[in-house]
Amino acid sequence: MRVPLSWLREYVDFDLSVDELVKAISLHSQEVDGIHRLGVLDGEVVVGEVVEFGPHPNADRLSVAKVDLGGQEVQIVAGAPNPYPGARVPVVLPGSVMADGTKLRKAKLRGLESNGMMMSERELGISNDHSGILLLDESYEVGRQVAEYFPVGETVLELDVNPNRPDLWGMIGVARELAAILGTDFRIPDISFETGGPPTADYGLRVEAEDLCPRYDLRRVSNISPGGRAPLEMRRRIFAAGMRPINAIVDISNFTMLETGQPNHVFDASRVREGIVVRRAKPAEKMKLLDGTTRDLDTDMLVIADEERGLVIAGVMGAEDAEVGNETTDVLIEVATFAGQSIFGTSARLALRTDASGRNERGLDPNMVPFARDRVASLLAEHAGGTIASDTLSHYPEPVDSWEAPLRLGRAELLLGIPVERDEAVGKLEALGCGVQAEDGRISASIPTFRRDLRREADLIEEVGRLFGLGRVPEELPKTSLSGGLTPAQQKVRTLRRLLADLGLAEAITYPFGPDRWRRDLSLESGHEPPTLANPLSAQAREMRSMLLPGLLDAAARNEAFGVESGAIFEVGRVFEARPLPEGKRDAALHFRLTGELNQPGTDAEDGASSFMGVEENQRVGGVLTGAIQPGGWNAPVRRAGFFEAKGIVERLVPGASFSPEVRPFLHPGRSAVVRAGDAAAGWVGELHPETAEKFDLSGGPVAAFELDLAFCDPDPAPRFQPFTNVPAVSRDLAVVVDSGVPAGDMLAAVGKTGSTMLAGARVFDVYEGAQVPEGKKSVALRFAFRGEETLTDEAVNGELDRISLCLRESFGAEVRGD
């Protein structure tokens, strides 16, 4: 809502700077979204009379004028051609500051001095018209300040009106609110007029769709002088409030809407056949609207029609057909209350929002109707020479009356945390328009019908709180004795994220929805349909992810495209899988989703709830490594992304994990493994299949990745003390030759199972294939640590090593090298 301050002052007096006013409104009522300035901010605008006007000698497009400012004649260079000797014009004097902050100075334009500027409507903030200088009529006295006739500068506050306050979509409502904040009074314009002319009842009124139209009023104004313009000040206000002045009738209609917050519609009575019908649109009905578009209506939309055709999409926009024009002399004023949700739905389905629909969709106060109706009528009489019919037609079968809402002072004090003194609370509620009765600690407020948001005690407490001022509320902390904390699972995620960051990975957050290309490019099985969005922003963001991988790969590709070929990223996030609903339970599931109710006899609540979701979410951690994940230094080798780099990370996340080859379509068949924690599959690790890499536009060499179910990760397993002796361990190496295909991990596992009491550690420290070993074989160098209660003898160690060699020979055909 745009609130021009000079207009606001018509209803309420206030002596505040703009900053103070903004603060008062934003701390007690609505947010002020912006401050707009129009016209002349500071300085003088004087009524001048053009004495001479002619072409500029040195410029084709400029003119030069001599202007009498009331005893003083000045020369002014102008761009507009429309002034003439004898014309009265507004002249802004040098030194004045314009709305955009520029300061007007004496200037020389093409050799001629210019002492001020004659102003267009746009420069004065009256309209967007910049085609010529505003010409003033004879009533403007030469030499006087224009500001004595109308404001030459305007400050407009843009209020961000909360949806529960439709009453603030009108100037009077804003004035009432400000008066309540400031503890002062406000004024509503008096409406008085004489009646005459042909009666409204020459036309009929029939409301067929009563459910969508609680109130509908008509009043006729005839004998209007056709083609008139609204007074300058009215046009100026409409413009400042953000609308476009058009002609006297439309401007009066809009002015009244802006003033009252109540939209209205003015029909050219001569085009209305027989009478007004309020009905739902007919099947396949179309309407050509004022904005030039033709709209297809549906049968849930409310239409204002005559006996032959639709005239208005109710509360939204009128048809071109019944538009008032320059020849209109006889009008019917419609002021009505529509069901807000219906207007909202219509406006949403047509993607058509107007000043009227924005107000109507909130659901307005039917008791506002007579004031707005007669305000339009009286302004038409005053400014367009109309004659107001003595009768009105009104459909208002169920009048709305004010209702009572209670307020216990103790309850208010409890919720607000401040003392609530009775008389002060009563005063605030009365300022809002409530009738208030108070007895001891209880207040009963009779709520005016324009405050439909005030129904309950909590609503009144809010009003009291904000008008008292939230600044009064002290700062306290709840005194709870609960011990807060993270659950072990939450703590684990923390530790895991920090660990990955410490290992050099960058944490990312990627979108959980993407294109169906993801599944194709990963060659995932079809038939396993993921949950999809019904209204994605684009087809590229339609499917919920079943893996973290594709989003991370897209990010890696993006990084590569921007020249960052190397790096490692990880994400902790959810993946989504569709879970078919139990047989025959679709209706029950829908009922649950909409109402939270599990009305399934014999169903365990928990089971029902999760099976009715239809989507399963699981938390995963995934990572992608590309290029030189650790850059080399002058004294350190480069480390490039590969299977073992990713595996090393996985080993930190899932201690004790076992790895065995498993083919996944998107991974390198020889460089990928399933990760097991105990017997359970915890995830996978591997290098990306070159074909997959290509599909994801990754061309910079091997890409390694992993993805694990968070439930199996244990980045910081609970420690348990193991006793140790001070006897030093004896280290022995053993190099064996085995077939290339023998997994080193199996060899280590077999060694571990020999049951040696001395063996304190075993690891692979070298693997070699090449000239030194036969084709199809490899040399595996193992290093063992032996430790006993006492210093071990060579004999004992050698005996143990022999047992190990024997085991490796029997299990893997291993031959000890270098014997």
Site for another protein in 109-168 (CB under 8 A): 162-165
Asked if 562 interacts with another protein (CB under 8 A), we say: yes
Nearest approach, Cβ of 113 to another protein (angstroms)?
35
Interface with another protein (CB under 8 A), residue from 148, 296, 307, 507: 507
Nearer to another protein, 323 or 457 (CB): 457
CA nearest to 311, candidates 331, 340, 337: 331
Nearest approach, Cβ of 632 to another protein (angstroms)?
8
Asked if 718 interacts with another protein (CB under 8 A), we say: no
Q: Which two tokens stand for residue 74?
A: 């000045």
Nearer to another protein, 115 or 566 (CB): 566
Contacts (CB under 8 A) with another protein, residues 603-622: 613-615, 617
Asked if 556 interacts with another protein (CB under 8 A), we say: yes
C-alpha angle 422-423-427 in degrees, rounded to nearest 5: 120
Interface with another protein (CB under 8 A), residue from 253, 256, 510, 611: 510
Residue 445 makes CB contacts below 8 A (sequence gap 6+) with: 404, 405, 406, 407, 429, 434, 435, 436, 437, 454, 460
CA 293 to chain centroid, in Å, comes to: 28
Interface with another protein (CB under 8 A), residue from 341, 731, 757, 772: 341
Dihedral angle, C-alpha 87, 89, 94, 98, nearest 10 °: -150
Interface with another protein (CB under 8 A), residue from 192, 526, 535, 722: 535
Asked if 481 interacts with another protein (CB under 8 A), we say: yes
Contacts (CB under 8 A) with another protein, residues 344-383: 344-345, 348, 361-362
DSSP 212-255: G-SEEEEEEEE-PPTT----HHHHHHHHHTT-----HHHHHHHH
Contacts (CB under 8 A) with another protein, residues 402-441: 414-418
Contacts (CB under 8 A) with another protein, residues 585-604: 589-590, 592-596
Nearest approach, Cβ of 377 to another protein (angstroms)?
32
Asked if 461 interacts with another protein (CB under 8 A), we say: yes
Nearer to another protein, 320 or 459 (CB): 459
Site mask, another protein, residues 633-662, x = CB under 8 A? Answer: xxxx--------------------------
For residue 501, give the 3-state DSSP assignment: helix
The Cα–Cα gap between 303 and 317 comes to 10
Nearer to another protein, 175 or 500 (CB): 500
Residue 241 makes CB contacts below 8 A (sequence gap 6+) with: 2, 3, 4, 7, 156, 258
> What are the strands of the beta sheet with 815-816, ordered from one edge?
759-768, 777-786, 730-739, 815-816
From 34-42, 195-203, 368-376, 572-580, span contacting another protein (CB under 8 A): 572-580
Interface with another protein (CB under 8 A), residue from 131, 145, 532, 793: 532
Nearest approach, Cβ of 420 to another protein (angstroms)?
11
Asked if 29 interacts with another protein (CB under 8 A), we say: yes
Asked if 17 interacts with another protein (CB under 8 A), we say: no
Residue 119 CB-density burial (10 A; 0-12 exposed, 13-18 middle, 19+ buried): buried
Asked if 528 interacts with another protein (CB under 8 A), we say: no
The Cα–Cα gap between 557 and 150 comes to 63
Place of tokens 């036309």: 203
Nearer to another protein, 427 or 536 (CB): 536
Asked if 512 interacts with another protein (CB under 8 A), we say: yes
C-alpha angle 115-120-124 in degrees, rounded to nearest 5: 90
Ramachandran angles phi, psi of 455, nearest 5°: -125, -35
Nearest approach, Cβ of 206 to another protein (angstroms)?
27
C-alpha angle 748-749-755 in degrees, rounded to nearest 5: 100
Q: What is the DSSP letter of 371?
A: H
Interface with another protein (CB under 8 A), residue from 190, 194, 327, 476: 476
